Amino acid sequence: MDFPKDLKYTKEHEWVKLDGNVATVGITDYAQDSLGDVVYVELPQEGGTVTKNEPFGVVESVKAVSDLYSPISGSVTEVNDAIVDTPEAINEDPYGDAWMIKVDVASLDELDDLMSADEYQKFIEEEK
Amino acid sequence: MRHIVTKGLVLDEPLIFEVSSAGRKGVEPAVCDVPVVDAAKVIPAAMLRGANDPMAGFPEVSEIDAVRHYTRLSQWNFGVDTGFYPLGSCTMKYNPKINEDAARLEGLSAIHPYQPEELSQGALRLIYELEDYLAEISGMSAITLQPSAGAQGELTGLLMIAAYFKAKGRPRHKIIIPDTAHGTNPASSALAGFKVVPIKSESNGVLTLDAVKAVMDDDTAALMLTNPNTIGIFERNIHDIAAYVHKKGGLIYCDGANLNAIMGIMKLGEMGVDVVQFNLHKTFSTPHGGGGPGSGPVGVGKALVPFLPGPRIKKSGNKYKFVRDNPKSIGRVKAFYGNFGVMVKAYAYIRRMGPDGIRKAALTAILNANYIKESLKGTFHLPYDQPCMHECVFSDKAQSAYGVTTIDMAKRLIDYGYHPPTVYFPLVVHGAIMIEPTETETKATLDGFIETMKEIAEEARANPDLLKSAPVNTKVQRVDEVRAAREPILRWRPGA
């Protein structure tokens, strides 16, 4: 399983990539593997707001329906609508094609309590 | 071992549309004895079906074709009347047929809800007494039988909680829900206008007072939990947790979906529960699933009685009457008085079982689940290794080394003639296999199932590919669930 070093991770298995003030958010390789084949995804509207630790969308596999939790607060500047029609991208390329939303981050401090790749890997080992 | 599945006479069956032949009839209507009038002459053209006749292409078959078609389809079906059905969290227990007989008694099945009160005294008495029995079993002050299913019962309970705080002049907006609660709980809370605050259970699967303390505040209306919870474990801290939540002015909602494990043994009211819904179609003798009808009565403690849906039934002397003047009531939640036929079955079940029988059913359900848990815990990973209530949860951890997952083993069980247990739920267990045998199965049935599960574990080790392609003995083999979910075809169309 792959956990890129330049990303930050949440306990709910989302990843964040920061570029200036804009954070790109998706779910991790571990999350897509645990879910199994993703069949449906629901994302917020562009221009809406998301709040740290609050649900911003839904992902559904043949096994389960799960909330997507936002790692940061801010306004949604871009939504990857392409994956709504091709949810399999979430299984195939969780860190690339299947990014979910881009957020204009309200406070960069909010990223402080997120995990590094190493910390996240340790976290999921314990969770298993 | 002796397998219960044989290669039987499995007939293929086309769709009823495909056996249709224009002009073929099953029934010849009686000769028309009034003058025939052309519809086009008396009905405005816009109201005639015309070219877009939705009845066009409707199947035309002979009577025996229709009988064979539906009989064959019914033979493909699998239910608790055909085999073991250990679907956890759902209580798919066998329901004695005598209760069906009771529900079909003409005096109960042919009455009309608009019939005057004085001509419906038997039905009113049955509702009144069933409310009484459920109050006795749960230890609650009063019951409404109106809600038509468990989730509607949840909504009814939550609306009463909202009304209670509104009446106190201090509305509260949050409901705390543990990760081991029933899946419908967050949805019902949101529908009732509450914000859901999820909390985690401890590593032993039990909710702790500290976890509740960390999130409980003066905007929290209630803690909503399921007891026993969805991993089949009794929430043993419930008493302390309830006392704390009450001290903070909040209420306790208990989802009664798992009541089969505690009925006749302990009373929810005495645990500090303020609201509970019953699932008569799980616990009290109505077949569960198949789209209903169900029944989800709600029991409440004293403080919530004024908010119960109306009308209520009052007994004065030997007469029963509706009371429609309930100013604080949240109003009706269902047309008329609920799904009456289901109430009759529950009434017959409770009367026939009696207090001792009901208690024994719960104890036997617990014993059966623990028997399966102990028998299989060396073969399958048991995440919560402790005494369980009516159901036990395993995972596929031990078999994942061979590339075999829960779904493969569930599908293989079909080959051996068992309905698979609940899989991938509860979410707190990865690859969950949740088994609820219920009280009605014999030791021989349980032993057959246990032996089969062990055989499947051995197959997982020796021949994982076999499990990957299971089921192989069925008419329809492994279906492509992913494609079905991504590209659903919901309607048959000619030539499609």
Query: What is this model's ipTM?
Result: 0.79
Q: How far apart are CA A123 and CA A18, in angstroms?
A: 21
pLDDT digits (tens, 9 = 90+) for B236-284: 999 999 999 999 999 999 999 999 999 999 999 999 999 999 999 999 9
For an interface test with B, give the residue of A39, A53, A83, A124 to mutate (most B CBs within 10 A). Answer: A39
Domain ranges of chain A: 8-127
Chain A residues close to B423, C-beta within 8 Å: 63
The verdict on B425 touching A (C-beta cutoff 8 Å) is yes
The verdict on A62 touching B (C-beta cutoff 8 Å) is yes
* C-alpha B264, offset from chain centre: 20
CATH of domain B364-485: 3.90.1150.10
At residue B189, the 3 state secondary structure works out as: helix
pLDDT digits (tens, 9 = 90+) for B325-384: 999 999 999 999 999 999 999 999 999 999 999 999 999 999 999 999 999 999 999 999
Q: Which residues of A10-38 are buried (b: 16+ CB within 10 A; e: fewer)?
A: bebbbbbbbeeeebbbbbbbbbbebbbbb
At residue A75, the 3 state secondary structure works out as: strand
Asked if pLDDT for residue B5 goes beyond 70, the answer is no
Q: CB atoms < 10 A from the CB of B318, how many?
A: 7
pLDDT at position B8 is 61
The verdict on A66 touching B (C-beta cutoff 8 Å) is yes
Shortest Cα distance from A19 to chain B (angstroms)?
A: 31
CATH of domain A8-127: 2.40.50.100
pLDDT digits (tens, 9 = 90+) for B190-210: 999 999 999 998 888 899 999
Distances (CA, A) of B104 to B94, B101, B345, B484: 18, 5, 9, 39
C-alpha atoms less than 13 angstroms from C-alpha of A12 in its C-beta half-sphere: 21
Domain ranges of chain B: 1-77, 98-352, 364-485
Out of B304-318, B320-334, B402-416, B474-488, pick the least confident.
Answer: B474-488
Supply the mean pLDDT for chain B: 93
The verdict on A37 touching B (C-beta cutoff 8 Å) is yes
Pairs across A and B, CB distance < 8 A: 22
Chain B residues close to A87, C-beta within 8 Å: 486
What number is the average pLDDT over the span B115-140? 97
Residues listed for chain B = 496
pLDDT at position B291 is 66
Band the pLDDT of B1: cuts 50, 70, 90.
Answer: low
The verdict on A34 touching B (C-beta cutoff 8 Å) is yes
Opening angle at CA B40, ends B39 and B45, nearest 5: 125
The verdict on A64 touching B (C-beta cutoff 8 Å) is yes
Q: Which CATH number fits domain B98-352: 3.20.20.70, 3.50.50.60, 3.40.50.970, 3.40.640.10?
A: 3.40.640.10
What number is the average pLDDT over the span B29-58? 86
Shortest Cα distance from A53 to chain B (angstroms)?
A: 11
Give the DSSP per-residue string, B368-432: HHHHHHHHHTTTSB-SS-S--SS-EEEBSTTTGGGT--HHHHHHHHHHTT----EES-STTSTT-
Asked if pLDDT for residue B52 goes beyond 90, the answer is no
